[in-house]
Amino acid sequence: MSLQFTPFIMLDGHAREAIRFYEEALGAQVVFCQTIGEAPDDAESSLSEEAKARIAHSVLLIDGAQLFVSDVLPGQKVQPGNLLNICITADNEQTSRRFYDALLQGGQVHIPLGPIYFSPAYGMVTDKFGVVFQLFTRRATE
């Protein structure tokens, strides 16, 4: 089993600015960046152009270490507990389910664990201590 724990910074419309800052300040290299509007789902088609321009996900490499940066969806609030969260990447759905269920004990669901266009099993929970975790499952080919 291979697990990866990655810090994930969530911002309210300032992700693009933060990415530029981390490029300069930390020598970060952007290896992936996708806006909300670039997602293959058409579920967000009712969003404004400004909302579609928000960063849905980015991956920065800093001397071999990864940092994820994105914007929250319009209407979501950035507050203590979700500004910085942890993304747990697992190799299979069973591991993601086990961690999701365990972290959910006394916690709160933000996104139920399930398939989404970028993962066979993805979900988000806040544990009983107020820490936000994203559970991401790699596709078999990753």
**Given pLDDT bands bounded at 50, 70 and 90, which one contains residue 16?**
very high
Residue 9: inside a domain, yes or no? yes
Tell me what pLDDT residue 42 has: 57
19 HSE (CA, 13 A, CB side): 24
The closest alpha carbon to 8, from 67, 49, 63, 90, belongs to 67
Domain of 56, CATH number, reads 3.10.180.10
Residue 100: inside a domain, yes or no? yes
Residue 51: inside a domain, yes or no? yes
pTM tops 0.85 = no
**The total number of structural domains that make up the chain:** 1
Tell me what pLDDT residue 40 has: 81
Residue 121: inside a domain, yes or no? yes
Rounded to an integer, what distance in angstroms lies between the CA atom of residue 104 and that of residue 54? 28
pLDDT at 1 over 70: no
**Tens digits of per-residue pLDDT, 77-109?**
887 667 889 999 999 999 999 999 999 999 999
pLDDT at 43 over 70: no
| CB of 135 closer than 8 Å to CB of 96 | yes
Residue 66: inside a domain, yes or no? yes
Q: Using CB atoms within 10 Å of the CB of residue 78, give its burial: 0 to 12 exposed, 13 to 18 middle, 19+ buried.
A: middle
Structural domain range at position 71: 4-137
